[in-house]
Structure 1
Amino acid sequence: MKMIREGGKVVAYTWVSEGDSSHWDKVGDVMGGTDKDASGKTVFEGKPYDFVFNVDVEDGKPPLKLPYNRGDDVYQAAHAFLVKNLLPGDYLEQVVDFILKNSKEQFVPPTNNQYQDPFTGGSRYTPSYQSNSNQTGVNVDPFTGGSSYSTAASKKDF
């Protein structure tokens, strides 16, 4: 039995051998079993996506699936694709260009002025120091804001 996409539907055929002749016989339309959810997005690995691209990486092997949603960070999507399929990081820009071309989107860098890690989306650690005017003469730990132990001898010890 083979299933063939004809127009917007899938049709099932079966191979029939009758004496000296053989032919494909139409069984009927295949019902259900769609890869689209109610919103029209393509479902891949249980999650809905606007696009699931077929990426032909090597001749003679099936294409790899590259999922992408509009508005997602193209660099994160490309990086996740490379990591999942054990492909070299040198292909990052090529995969980003592929996504942008095929989704007809334009790359929009993050709008906030703060640093954003391209892989995790998080920001970097930036220490902040709050001066406490009540603690004059006391050593203040820059990490906790509390006082610290000092080994310095006072003038009266001499």
Structure 2
Amino acid sequence: MQAHEIMKTDVIKVTEQESIRSVIGKFIEHQISGLPVVNDKNQLVAYISDGDIMRFIGKHKDIIIDTFYYVNVIKGDDDEFEQRTQKALDLNVMSIARKKVIKVAWDEEAENIAAVLGNKRIKKLPVEKDGVLVGIISRGDVIRHSFKSLL
């Protein structure tokens, strides 16, 4: 089984000219947490996720994370968070999107796709054919297609 047999072709995406406001709107409207960013030729140039936005709006100092992942926050100014979230809305998507995108070719085998999704701990993989975005594959897509005939 190859990527083109698993992928969704109705890819929700943003262009490199759009703002984080547009990204957040698509996250909410489509109940998703990440989007490919494309140029005017539909070529993949970046990927933006909810994690990228969280890193931007999150407190940048006075946070201590111990070895057991308990977070101790020293009281900060609540207005700072509101200011960061407001500022984020008007940023261009490319200012916080990841430019090094993990992606797969349209003819990549399912077992390799599963390995990438699992080992890299990512939720979705953009699919390219001839340098153009043609689809997207999620962990759920791989699970559904891999196990549906076995149940």
TM over 0.5: no
**Higher helix proportion:** 2
Structure with larger Rg:
1
